[in-house]
Chains A and B, each alone.
Chain A
Amino acid sequence: MVQLWAFAVDMVTLDFGDSLWQRRPAVEVVFERLPNTLLLIAASLAFAILVAIPLGAIAALRPGGFLDRLTMSIGLIGLATPQFFLGLVFIMVFAVQLKWLPTSGFGTAAHLVLPALTLAITPLARFTLMVRSSMIEELNQPYVRTARAKGMGRARILRVHTLRNILVPFMNLSAWELIVALSGYTVVVETVFAWPGLGHTAVQAIQRGDLFLMQAIVFTIAFMTVFITLLIDVASKLIDPRIKLN
């Protein structure tokens, strides 16, 4: 009981003890590496979202059409490809063969491109498939017919009317992808590209049996997961006035 209390106090004061490996407070290591991970995730999810929404919307305009099938096929391949494999292929092609980008490491914007792209592929595929199917559903809603009868063009209907209606489920999926990236995907991608983020650090901590650092990392990720979930609830309420917060 006393131990549990002491543990709780440590958590609240962010006192996780010293990292055995780095010989400094574990929190310090976490706060040093976390921004790198967040940068990587932000870049990849932003890219995924910005590409997925127009792609899914265009595919939804003509379900079963050429663009729709193309998007669907690429989406399914994207979902099925493991990230470490994709990362290695990207390194082979863009870094080793074409020498456009560095193979790994950290520092410049060029270093960010390949890991962010690798991390973006799975969410990009999932976002695109989701935007497509919910757009198809929304485009069949009677309010879309009303908007068309008002003389609104296709672009405006997609941008203003239907997008708003898929935003809440889309945000929930994005939050989920964000959490999955934080707690899993970054471990793979950061390791492949030697990106000095939290995921890479976690692997190193495990290899060195650094329990205190590991604990600090897990706690941080758990805390962020809760925080993201709360944030999404509030944002959903802002978009859809029918949602009641509990």
Chain B
Amino acid sequence: MTLTVRDLHVAFETRGGRVNALRGVNLSVAPGETLGIVGESGSGKSVTAQAIMGLIDLPGRIEAGSITWNGKSLLEGDGYGTSVWGREISMIFQDPMTSLNPLMTIGAQICEVLTQHLGMTAEQARERAVDLLAAVGISGPRRRVDQYPHEFSGGMRQRAMIAMSIACNPKVLIADEPTTALDVTVQAQILDLLAELQSGLGLAIILITHDLGTVAGLCQRVAVMYSGRIVESQSVDAIFERPQHPYTQGLLRSTPRLDEPATRLLSIEGTPPSLMQADDGCAFRKRCPIAADACKEMPPLVTEGAVQIACHFPGRPAWQARQAG
């Protein structure tokens, strides 16, 4: 019962050229684990999630690598995917406003998962839908189940999305920036709900976010993405204590912390390399203060205990020296 992504390459054939969005992503999620994926905009977080859910469309293509669930590939067109997606692995999206069908009742959208995957009758599915709405904290679920998305507020729509995604008691829930489109107060409620479900249902969650604070609050492990690869992955506590990859160090340095006096926020200079060019070296080396000749060669993702890191100089402090000088 594990989800494993091995050496995943995804490219988009666009008019402006070929975008190598993922260039060898490796990750796996253990049962009941909460994995955070962080990284700059365009680093490939959403594409990774979409690939797992079979949502990569032309002009995008999975060029290489594997995605397996219980040892079986989700990439074959043999219908295995459609029996897993929505049932054992489900996903919620960033924008609950447009992610629901505007012309179907909330109930109908929940029920179709139940009838398709669990073979429930219409009445059974409806009862379960009411229970699910109650479980995600929607009051008056019996009335709400027959309403349309436009009658729900943003936060409630995201709750309905979550109800839909947990309908079949999945093992893994992928949440791609589930709170970005919501009000700050509602954001906290949705994250609380996810945490509650995670412990209540023993759900593994992959949480994609920009916000390291959210990761610290909800996740056990973090994977840091940069330019289409995972550059570092370890437990949340360790990554805040001892970030290994220079990029992670920079990322933490540019995040405000409550336990330190507010100083100037330091951003990482430069921009990520274009995904159009094929590059054999470490993608971060142009912005990395400790880059050396060795970095012209791609560092492999090395696993050491619970820590995975793709850097030729793991753990070497990259920024302090400059700050002092």
Which A positions have Cβ atoms within 8 angstroms of B?
141-143, 145-153, 156, 160-161, 164-165, 239-242
A146 partner, pick from B93, B103, B116, beta carbons under 8 A: B93
> Is the Cβ of B99 less than 8 Å from the Cβ of A145?
yes
* Least CB separation from B117: chain A residue: A151
Given contacts A150-B90, A151-B116, A151-B117, contact A143 B100 (CB under 8 A): yes
9 A-B residue contacts at CB 8 Å? A142-B93, A142-B98, A149-B90, A151-B82, A151-B83, A152-B86, A156-B116, A161-B104, A241-B150
> Is the Cβ of A164 less than 8 Å from the Cβ of B101?
yes
CB of B298 closer than 8 Å to a CB of A: no
> Is the Cβ of B86 less than 8 Å from the Cβ of A143?
no
> How close is A62's CB to chain B, nearest CB, in angstroms?
9
Additional 14 contacts, C-beta under 8 A, given A148-B53, A156-B116: A141-B98, A142-B95, A143-B99, A143-B100, A143-B101, A143-B102, A146-B93, A146-B101, A149-B85, A150-B85, A151-B82, A160-B104, A164-B101, A240-B103
Which B positions have Cβ atoms within 8 angstroms of A?
53-55, 81-87, 90-91, 93, 95, 98-104, 112-113, 116-117, 148, 150, 161, 164
> Is the Cβ of B99 less than 8 Å from the Cβ of A146?
yes
> How close is A153's CB to chain B, nearest CB, in angstroms?
6
Please give, as numbers and ranges, the residues of chain A lying within 8 Å of B85 by CB-CB distance: 148-151
Please give, as numbers and ranges, the residues of chain A lying within 8 Å of B91 by CB-CB distance: 149
Given contacts A142-B95, A242-B148, contact A150 B112 (CB under 8 A): yes
> Is the Cβ of A242 less than 8 Å from the Cβ of B102?
yes
> Is the Cβ of B112 less than 8 Å from the Cβ of A160?
yes
> Is the Cβ of A165 less than 8 Å from the Cβ of B101?
yes
For chains A and B in complex, what number of residue pairs have CB atoms within 8 angstroms? Answer: 74
A143 partner, pick from B81, B98, B113, beta carbons under 8 A: B98
> Is the Cβ of B100 less than 8 Å from the Cβ of A146?
yes
> How close is B291's CB to chain A, nearest CB, in angstroms?
39
Interface centre among A148, A149, A161 (most CB of B within 10 A): A149
Given contacts A146-B161, A241-B148, A242-B150, contact A151 B86 (CB under 8 A): yes
Please give, as numbers and ranges, the residues of chain A lying within 8 Å of B104 by CB-CB distance: 160-161, 164
> How close is B10's CB to chain A, nearest CB, in angstroms?
16
> How close is B229's CB to chain A, nearest CB, in angstroms?
24
> Is the Cβ of A150 less than 8 Å from the Cβ of B164?
yes
> How close is A147's CB to chain B, nearest CB, in angstroms?
7
A148→B101 CA distance, assembly (Å): 12
Please give, as numbers and ranges, the residues of chain A lying within 8 Å of B99 by CB-CB distance: 142-143, 145-146
> Is the Cβ of B86 less than 8 Å from the Cβ of A150?
yes
B102 partner, pick from A148, A150, A165, beta carbons under 8 A: A165
> How close is B2's CB to chain A, nearest CB, in angstroms?
19
> Is the Cβ of B55 less than 8 Å from the Cβ of A149?
yes
* Least CB separation from B53: chain A residue: A149
> Is the Cβ of A152 less than 8 Å from the Cβ of B53?
no
A153→B93 CA distance, assembly (Å): 19
A242→B150 CA distance, assembly (Å): 8
Given contacts A145-B93, A151-B116, contact A239 B103 (CB under 8 A): yes
